[in-house]
Amino acid sequence: MTEVSGTNRRQILRLGLLAAGGAGLAGSGLAGCGPADKPAQAAAPTLLRVAAADATNTTGLDPRSVSAGASVIVVQHVYDSLMALEDSTFKLKLAESVEPNADATRWTIRLRSGVTFHDGRPVRAADVAYSIRTLATPPSNRASVYGEVDVANLKVVDERTVEVPLKRARADFREAVLVVFSTVFPEGTTDFSKAIGSGPYRLDASDERIVRLVANEDHWGGTPALRELEITRIADASARLAAVKDGQVDYAVGISAAGAQTERANPQVRIHRGGVANSNALSFAMNQRLAPFNDPRVRRAVRLAADRKALVENALIGLGTPGDDVVGKGLPGYAKGLAERSRDVDTARQLFRDAGVSELTLRASDLVPGFMTAAKLLSQQLQEAGVKLTVQTVPADSFYADLKALSTVPFQTFYYSNRPAQVHLSAVTNERAVFNVTGAGPDHWKRLAAAQVTVDNDKRAAAFAELQRDFYDNGGDLLWGFQESIDVSNASVKAVPVNQTVQAFGRATFG
C-alpha cells in the first residue's frame, strides 16, 4: 500500500475536529475492535464519520453541481428524489405516482402527502416544478437530463400534482429522467448553502472539506437509525484507508483493490464489496468524432490490443469482471448475445498499420482506484501491437473542472456507474449529454430517439438492445472492466446498503 505522506497524515489527524466529541467514539461502538475484545453490550452508535473523494472538489450542498463521491453522498442524504433505482428496480420516492398520457408527450406526477422540508414547509407541486426548471437550466450540470422537458409550460395542477409536458414523446421518462436525477428543493431557492431538502438528513454544519448532517426526525420514510453523519473529502484512496486504520474516520468510500487485499486479514477493519450491480464501468474512451478515432479501424485495433482479463487481474487485483464495451452488465435490459471480447494482437497491429497510427496519447487520472495502473498496462499492451502510448496524467480532483472540454479529448480514462443500459444510453449518449465522451453522433441520436418514443415496453427494450449491439460493434468505449465498489470501515460497521454505488448510511448496521 502507498505510504501516506506527512502532510496527508497531518490533514487526517485534523478531520475529527469539526464535530465536538468526534474523537471520543470508542465508547460509541464505532471504534474498531476484534471479536475477542468486543464489549458484550456496546452503546448504540450515534455518529458515523465518512471519508470520500469527489471529482468536482466539492462537498455537495448544491444539487446543480454534484458529480460522484462526497457531493452525491451529501445530496442523496439531504434531498429526496421523485424516483430512484434501488436493487435493480425503479422505485417511487417523493412521487406517489408518475403516469403518461396516451402518447407519452405529457406526464403527471402526483406527490406523497404530508412530506415537509427541513424548515417545516410542505413539499408542494410548485416546488417540484421549480426544481425541474432549475435542474434543466445551466449552470446545472444535469441540464441535459431534462433536455426534452418543456420547462416553460410546466403546469401546477394542485398542491400535490404537476404536469410535465415534453418537447417530444418520451416513453422512458421515468427511468431515463426522474431516476437519473430528480432532487426536489423549495420553490425560489437560489442560495443552496443552507441545503434545505426533505431527505432523511438535514445540514448541521459545513466547511470547505467537511459536512455534518443530523437525522431528520420528521422524514416520511421514518427517522434514520444513525443520528449523525460527517462526510469528509479526502482525495487519495490510500489516505482514506489510513484514516480508517488510524481511527480518524469510521468508513472510507472507494479504496483500491490493492488496499482491500492488503487488509483482508486485518480484524480491525471490514471490507465492503458492492458486487456487479454496484460497480463502475471502466473505459478507455475513444472519441469517434476526433482523429485518429474517427477511423473505425483504429477503434477496433485498440479493442483487439487490450487484454481485458489482464487489466482486471492487475488493476483491480481480480476484484471485478471483464467488460465487453457496453454498460449494464448484470442488470435488467442488458442485450443478449454480446460475445466475450478476446485479444488479437496480430490483427490489431495490421489495423494500426493500415490506418497509419503508431502513437497515441491518453488523458488519464485515478478517478477510481486502479485507473492509472490500468493505463500503464494498456501502454504495454499497445506497444505489443506496435503503438506507443503516452499517458498524460491529470489530478483526480481537477479531471472534471471543465465539463465542456471532455468532449474535445480524443482518448481518456473514463468511468460510468453501471446502470441499466436503457438509462445509461439515454443519459450519456443523447445529443445534449455532457458526458458523451465517445462522440456518439446524429445517426445514433436518431435511433436513440426512436427507441425512446416507443410506448410498448417490449418493443422499446428490443430497440435499446439493438443500440447496445451497435455500441459493441462500432462505439467508442474500450470498456474493459466492471469494478465493484470496495469500501472499508472499522470492524463495528457491519453493513451499509449500496444502490448504484451510492451508500445509504442512515441504514447502516453494526455488530
Is the model's pLDDT at 293 over the cut of 80? Answer: yes
Judgement on whether residues 300 and 399 belong to the same structural domain of the protein: yes
More confident residue, 501 or 382: 382
Residue 133: which CATH number?
3.90.76.10
Judgement on whether residues 20 and 138 belong to the same structural domain of the protein: no
Judgement on whether residues 115 and 56 belong to the same structural domain of the protein: no
Supply the range of the domain harboring residue 220. 6-78+199-274+486-510
Residue 479: which CATH number?
3.10.105.10
Is the model's pLDDT at 428 over the cut of 50? Answer: yes
Q: 331 near 424, Cβ under 8 Å?
A: no
How much is the average pLDDT of 314-341?
92
Judgement on whether residues 152 and 209 belong to the same structural domain of the protein: no
What integer best gives the mean pLDDT of the chain? 89
How much is the average pLDDT of 381-400?
95
In a domain, 354, yes or no: yes
- What tens digit of pLDDT does each residue of 121-150 get? 999 999 999 999 999 999 998 898 898 999
Domain boundary among 192, 222, 253: 192
Judgement on whether residues 173 and 264 belong to the same structural domain of the protein: no
Judgement on whether residues 362 and 456 belong to the same structural domain of the protein: yes
pLDDT-based confidence at residue 38 (cuts at 50, 70, 90):
very low
Q: Which of 306, 291, 461 is nearest to 374 (CA)?
A: 306
Judgement on whether residues 262 and 350 belong to the same structural domain of the protein: no
Q: Which of 37, 508, 504, 6 is nearest to 268 (CA)?
A: 37
In a domain, 1, yes or no: no
- What tens digit of pLDDT does each residue of 46-69 get? 899 999 998 777 777 999 998 778
Q: 321 near 280, Cβ under 8 Å?
A: no
Judgement on whether residues 40 and 90 belong to the same structural domain of the protein: no
Q: 341 near 395, Cβ under 8 Å?
A: no
Is the model's pLDDT at 2 over the cut of 70? Answer: no
Q: 494 near 511, Cβ under 8 Å?
A: yes
Is the model's pLDDT at 7 over the cut of 60? Answer: no
pLDDT at 110: 98
Judgement on whether residues 206 and 57 belong to the same structural domain of the protein: yes
Domain boundary among 192, 217, 250: 192
In 3-state terms the chain splits into helix, strand, coil percentages (rounded to 5) of: 30, 25, 45
Q: 61 near 195, Cβ under 8 Å?
A: yes
More confident residue, 430 or 351: 351
Is the dihedral angle over the CA atoms 499, 502, 507, 511 positive or is it negative? Answer: positive
Q: pTM of the prediction?
A: 0.75
Judgement on whether residues 406 and 303 belong to the same structural domain of the protein: yes
Q: Looking at residue 243, what DSSP letter applies?
A: H
Domain boundary among 147, 167, 192: 192
Judgement on whether residues 55 and 110 belong to the same structural domain of the protein: no
How much is the average pLDDT of 480-489?
93
Amino acid code (one letter) for 9: R
Judgement on whether residues 308 and 422 belong to the same structural domain of the protein: yes
In the chain, how many domains are there? 3
Residues 6+ apart with CB under 8 A from 338: 324, 326, 468, 469, 472
pLDDT at 42: 52
